[in-house]
């Protein structure tokens, strides 16, 4: 793990491509410095440890999935921090969770998998009024859609997947923010160890230059896919943010990226065909889009009761729309959903 | 990083707070509550550093008055605070000089006369690659900008509030030193040994303690800070007067508690600006066991503390602090 050239800390020396990635990412967010860290869990853990003291309290999103959620509830507890999970898309819920020892509000800019945008402007005001630091996980939107530092966040964390790395080949994360906090985060990263290798940094550097172009395509593709899914009889609900539902976002957001999720009707029990649409099945060409079931992956560790309370059902499918031919993607999804419906009718 | 002191980060903070004075305001507090007949439990409370919070989850047992065996008493707590603060200032200055001391000990001492007057002094013992001139410069800086040294050397108003059905607000103003000769009586001393960075180990009459700063102030969050020991001394001494702990209590019985708070403008200790470096706005709040009733006894007890408390008078009144320096076992002459 490395520090930027201008931050202090006992990190190993940054290689050229790593430095350039950090500089490019910082520029995308309007910051001066950034840190390239091997993994979003390590980046988030280091950030939260750096911004809090033993005995400190953190407010985090109740949509936080594994493995980060386990780190927050177990490892951080072992280091003297306590975490309260709340619905961070509701600023009042965040304020209600503030305790005397609260130091950090950790909010994903887009809740995953229910895809609700967090009102960062409002949360930032409450955070400032309560002397709290606002750290934002902007993985779901990327700087092409939202620059959280401009809304009042002090630190931004982003996984390189699905947006920063166009080919999903690099497992890394980037952290940027106000200069006064980055040296502490760099020091904490150095304690956790690890380093992003030069080749991975090189791949990332190439991808970052096309971020805005790719995001435009992914955003448009996600909108079309969401529209097609809403019209399909096998789909009960589509979770896709919009400016109609969140008009306040017009001030801060350019769009909502390429993520969406949808819940199929209760009659469908087998979703394997839907999950396979992005693979080589169907037309024989793999797609850049990724599909997964949160209840069996990121939120599998939660009890059914907690998942239900969070609105994450077993029939919820999360889609990360890539730079694909959207017509092909929609055609495959329709075919898979039709087949799932027919399978159910045949079974009856 | 020499001596565990991050000079670059300190300089960055100094520059930042020069520009943004509100970011230089550090407010802190402790709360003391009776634990046993002769002992209190002191808990440090979250600090406010500029526009951020600093969690402080430390607890320490202190005894209400002098003489209890295995816990610090209020005066002992003050001596730990003085030694820790002086050690912090000295190490920072020596690090800026490029020196790495092999040993740094501060031996603070308080002497009390029968009439309540007190004198303060401390001896610094330094070993290692430090020249007398470097040591003198470091010491001069510590005297000028060390927060505990300045707090004890300068007069301070102490405000107190007794929170009952009708709050009682009291202010204790500094008393001038008596004109008569000082006749030394009781003597209390401590030994504070620097470990690394802002971390020190201390010993007062066989009782061990340690002090450290939060990481936001370049410590390692290992123990209460010097300023928290300062406030703990006042809180515990006030509680000793207000609630001597003579009555036998059960765990369910409500007990009195004392909250002590203060503020430091970090531009004082961290930069060369002409800003007071000592603890300011010292406020002691007593919450009696039953705050719903008007409690004259509690207010009288606090008045008595304001008149007689040893730790209170050390903090409230101005004192000339005698300082001596021993470098590699040899006393070094200091110009005053």
So what's the pLDDT on residue A4? Answer: 42
So what's the pLDDT on residue B293? Answer: 67
Helix axes A211-230, A326-347, angle to 10 degrees: 30
**Mean pLDDT (whole number) for A33-57:** 95
As given in the structure block, the two tokens for residue B192 are 């504070």
So what's the pLDDT on residue A101? Answer: 94
Max intra-chain CA distance, chain A: 66
CA-to-CA separations, A232 to A225, A313, A317, A347, in angstroms, rounded:
11, 19, 14, 20
A190-219 pLDDT tens trace: 988 888 888 888 889 989 989 999 999 999
Q: Is B9 on the interface with A (CB under 8 A)?
A: yes
**Mean pLDDT (whole number) for A234-248:** 94
Residue (of B117, B237, B122) closest to B183 by Cα position: B117
As given in the structure block, the two tokens for residue B260 are 């002590």
N- to C-terminal Cα separation, chain A: 56
Q: Using an 8 Å CB-CB cutoff, list chain A residues near B46.
A: 100-101
The DSSP call for residue A29 is T
Cis peptide before B274 (omega within 30 of 0): no
Q: What is the band of A3 on the pLDDT scale with cuts at 50, 70, 90?
A: very low
The answer to whether A101 contacts B9, with C-beta atoms less than 8 Å apart, is no
Task: Note the helical H segments in B60-201.
Answer: 74-96, 132-145, 147-153
So what's the pLDDT on residue B247? Answer: 54
Q: How many CB pairs under 8 A join A and B?
A: 50
So what's the pLDDT on residue B274? Answer: 78
Cβ atoms of B191 and B105 within 8 Å: the answer is: yes
Given B12, B45, B55, which is nearest A103 (Cβ)? B55
**DSSP secondary structure, A139-155, as one string:** TTT-TTT--GGGGT-SE
Between vectors from CA A154 to CA A148 and to CA A158, what angle results, nearest 5°?
55
The answer to whether B52 contacts A101, with C-beta atoms less than 8 Å apart, is no
Cβ atoms of A321 and A289 within 8 Å: the answer is: yes
Question: Which residues in chain B land under pLDDT 70?
Answer: 66-68, 178-179, 245-253, 272-273, 293-295, 336
B81-95 pLDDT tens trace: 999 999 999 999 999
Helix, strand, or coil (residue B316): helix
**Dihedral pair phi/psi, residue A88, rounded to 5°:** -80, 0
The answer to whether B55 contacts A53, with C-beta atoms less than 8 Å apart, is yes
Q: Is A102 on the interface with B (CB under 8 A)?
A: yes
Burial of A182 per CB tally in 10 Å (0-12, 13-18, 19+): buried
Cβ atoms of B53 and A102 within 8 Å: the answer is: yes
The answer to whether A53 contacts B16, with C-beta atoms less than 8 Å apart, is no
Lowest mean pLDDT, pick from A158-162, A164-168, A262-266, B75-79: A164-168
Q: In this prediction, what percent of chain A has a pLDDT beyond 70? A: 94
pTM of the entire predicted model: 0.86
Q: What is the band of A13 on the pLDDT scale with cuts at 50, 70, 90?
A: very low
Is residue A333 over pLDDT 50? yes
Cβ burial A203-232 (10 Å sphere, 16+ → b, else e)? bbbebbeebeebbebbbebbbebbebbeeb
So what's the pLDDT on residue A130? Answer: 93
The answer to whether B9 contacts A132, with C-beta atoms less than 8 Å apart, is no
Helix axes A182-192, A40-51, angle to 10 degrees: 120
């Amino acid at each position: 793990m490395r520090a930027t050239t201008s931050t202090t800390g006992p990190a190993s020396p940054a290689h050229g491509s790593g430095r350039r990635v950090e500089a490019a990412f910082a520029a995308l967010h309007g910051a001066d410095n950034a840190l390239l860290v091997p993994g979003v869990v390590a980046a988030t853990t280091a950030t939260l440890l750096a911004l809090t003291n033993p005995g400190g309290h953190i407010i985090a999103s109740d949509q936080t999935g594994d493995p980060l959620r386990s780190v927050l509830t177990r490892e951080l507890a072992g280091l003297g921090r306590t975490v309260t999970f709340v619905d961070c898309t509701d600023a009042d819920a965040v304020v209600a969770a503030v305790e005397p020892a609260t130091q950090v509000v950790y909010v994903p800019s887009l809740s995953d998998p229910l895809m609700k945008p967090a009102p960062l402007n409002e949360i930032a005001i409450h955070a400032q009024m309560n002397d709290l630091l606002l750290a934002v996980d902007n993985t779901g939107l990327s700087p092409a859609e939202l620059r959280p530092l401009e809304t009042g966040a002090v630190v931004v964390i982003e996984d390189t997947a699905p947006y920063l790395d166009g080919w999903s080949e690099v497992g890394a994360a980037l952290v940027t923010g106000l200069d006064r906090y980055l040296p502490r985060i760099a020091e904490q990263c150095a304690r956790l160890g690890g380093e992003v290798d030069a080749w991975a940094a090189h791949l990332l550097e190439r991808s970052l230059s096309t971020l805005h172009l790719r995001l435009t395509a992914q955003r448009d593709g996600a909108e079309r896919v969401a529209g097609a899914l809403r019209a399909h009889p096998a789909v009960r609900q589509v979770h896709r943010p919009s400016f109609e539902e969140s008009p306040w976002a017009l001030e801060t957001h350019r769009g909502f990226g390429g993520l969406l999720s949808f819940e199929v009707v209760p009659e469908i029990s087998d979703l394997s065909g839907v999950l396979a649409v992005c693979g080589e099945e169907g037309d024989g060409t793999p797609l850049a889009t990724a599909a997964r079931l949160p209840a069996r992956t990121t939120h599998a560790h939660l009890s059914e009761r907690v998942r239900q309370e969070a609105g994450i059902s077993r029939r919820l499918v999360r889609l990360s729309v890539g730079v694909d031919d959207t017509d092909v993607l929609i055609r495959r999804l329709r075919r898979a959903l039709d087949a799932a419906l027919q399978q159910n009718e045949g079974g009856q | 990083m020499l001596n565990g002191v991050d000079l670059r980060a300190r300089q960055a903070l100094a520059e930042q707070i020069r520009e943004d004075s509100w970011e230089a305001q550090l407010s802190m507090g402790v709360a003391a509550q009776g634990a046993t007949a002769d002992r209190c439990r002191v808990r440090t409370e979250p600090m406010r550093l500029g526009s951020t919070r600093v969690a402080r989850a430390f607890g320490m047992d202190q005894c209400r008055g002098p003489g209890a065996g295995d816990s610090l008493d209020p005066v002992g707590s003050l001596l730990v605070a003085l030694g820790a603060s002086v050690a912090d200032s000295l190490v920072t200055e020596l690090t800026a000089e490029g020196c790495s001391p092999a040993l740094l000990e501060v031996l603070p001492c308080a002497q009390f006369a029968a009439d309540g007057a007190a004198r303060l002094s401390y001896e610094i013992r330094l070993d290692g690659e430090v020249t007398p001139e470097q040591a003198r410069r470091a010491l001069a800086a510590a005297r000028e900008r060390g927060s505990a040294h300045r707090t004890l050397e300068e007069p301070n108003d102490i405000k107190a509030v007794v929170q009952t059905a009708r709050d009682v607000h009291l202010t204790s103003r500094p008393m001038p030193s008596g004109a008569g000769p000082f006749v030394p009586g009781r003597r209390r001393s401590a030994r504070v040994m620097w470990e690394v960075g802002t971390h020190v180990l201390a010993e007062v009459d066989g009782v061990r303690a340690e002090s450290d700063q939060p990481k936001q102030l370049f410590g390692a969050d290992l123990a209460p800070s010097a300023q928290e020991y300062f406030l703990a001394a006042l809180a515990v001494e006030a509680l000793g007067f207000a609630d001597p702990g003579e009555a036998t209590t059960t765990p369910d019985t409500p007990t009195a508690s004392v909250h002590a708070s203060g503020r430091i403008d970090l531009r004082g200790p961290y930069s060369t600006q002409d800003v007071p470096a000592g603890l300011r706005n010292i406020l002691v709040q007593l919450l009696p066991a039953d705050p719903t009733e008007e409690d004259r006894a509690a207010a009288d007890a606090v008045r008595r503390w304001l008149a007689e408390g040893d730790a209170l008078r050390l903090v409230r009144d101005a004192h000339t602090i005698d300082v001596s320096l021993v470098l590699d076992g040899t006393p070094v002459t200091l110009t005053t």
